[in-house]
Amino acid sequence: MHELIFLKLGGSLLTDKTRPQALRPDVLGRLAGEIASALAARPGLWLLIGHGSGSFGHVAASRYGTRAGVRSPEEWRGYAETARAAAQLNRLVVDALWEAGAPALGIQPSASAHCREGELLALDERPIRAALNHGLTPILYGDVALDDGRGGTIISTEEIFRWLAPRLAPGRVILVGEVAGVLTADPASGAPGELIPTITTAMLPALTQVLGSSRGVDVTGGMVAKVTEMAALLRATPSLAAVQIISGLEPDLVKRALLDPACAAGTRILA
């Protein structure tokens, strides 16, 4: 029997989002080792990994306003520049996983993604299914996408997960970022923030006022958008009970979370 887990590695975790194309190689290398170790320890574990674009794709997308639409020649050039930068980070993630011993396969979302007014309408899951069935670990990422209304736009990893979850039926979804989970204040603000261990969809309207946005450049909406997307994912995936948000800066936590469904770290968003 196989257990499929969707694992997201945040762009702000893998890169310094305050500086263009600033990879955190030590963090990426350690996380790749934890993931490879978990896969080796559990032969029945299937992973679909997604990652944010961090200071690679987000900087270019912000410069050209790609999320809002792509119409002029300059904006289409920015669309291509954003795609190139996002793919560069994907290659670095795939290479790190291979070096750690995981058979990673990079998959380009923009090759099949189709949106209308910013909403993802289609994404071909067949390459992902084939990779999993043949013992590979597919690696997707936040990317550009063609859009019927806007010309082009940006799709986040969370939006991709929301599209794929009802179709692939993961047993668990784990989001890995810089902080311990969802906090009552943005750590970058200097204000003391407390961990929120559990979030239900009924709590979202009130939480929207207190959730911190991402530090650095983020064209996909920060923590509010992440939590909202995961609540929508849960509603669309009846077989999934919770989404877990944890820190990737705590050594071995990602490995423990992958191997232990009862791992109590971070924040759980409940259906």
256: phi then psi, degrees, rounded to nearest 5: -65, -40
Tokens 């991402």 correspond to what residue? 214
The shares of helix, strand and coil residues in the chain, as percent rounded to the nearest 5, are: 45, 25, 35
Distances (CA, A) of 65 to 3, 78, 188: 39, 8, 24
Residues spanned by the domain of 105? 3-270
Q: Which two tokens stand for residue 108?
A: 């380009």
Contacts of 181 (CB under 8 A, 6+ apart): 195, 196, 197, 245, 246, 247, 265, 266, 267
Distances (CA, A) of 95 to 44, 82, 85, 200, 269: 23, 20, 16, 37, 31
Taking only the tens of pLDDT, the chain with its 271 residues reads 799 999 999 999 999 988 888 999 999 999 999 999 999 999 999 999 999 998 898 888 889 999 999 999 999 999 999 999 999 999 999 999 999 999 999 999 999 999 999 999 999 999 999 999 999 999 999 999 999 999 999 999 999 999 999 999 999 999 999 988 888 776 666 666 789 999 987 888 777 766 654 555 554 457 788 888 888 899 999 889 889 999 999 999 999 999 999 998 999 999 7
pLDDT tens readout for residues 119-146: 999 999 999 999 999 999 999 999 999 9
How far apart CA 222 and CA 257 sit, in angstroms, is: 23
Domain count, the chain: 1
CATH classification of the domain holding 213:
3.40.1160.10
Q: Which amino acid is at 259?
A: L
Rg, Å, the chain Cα set: 17
How far apart CA 124 and CA 160 sit, in angstroms, is: 11
Return the SS3 of 154.
strand
Nearest of 220, 212, 166 to residue 6 by alpha carbon: 166
Residue 82 · residue 57 · CB < 8 Å:
yes
Return the SS3 of 114.
strand
Residue 235 · residue 271 · CB < 8 Å:
yes
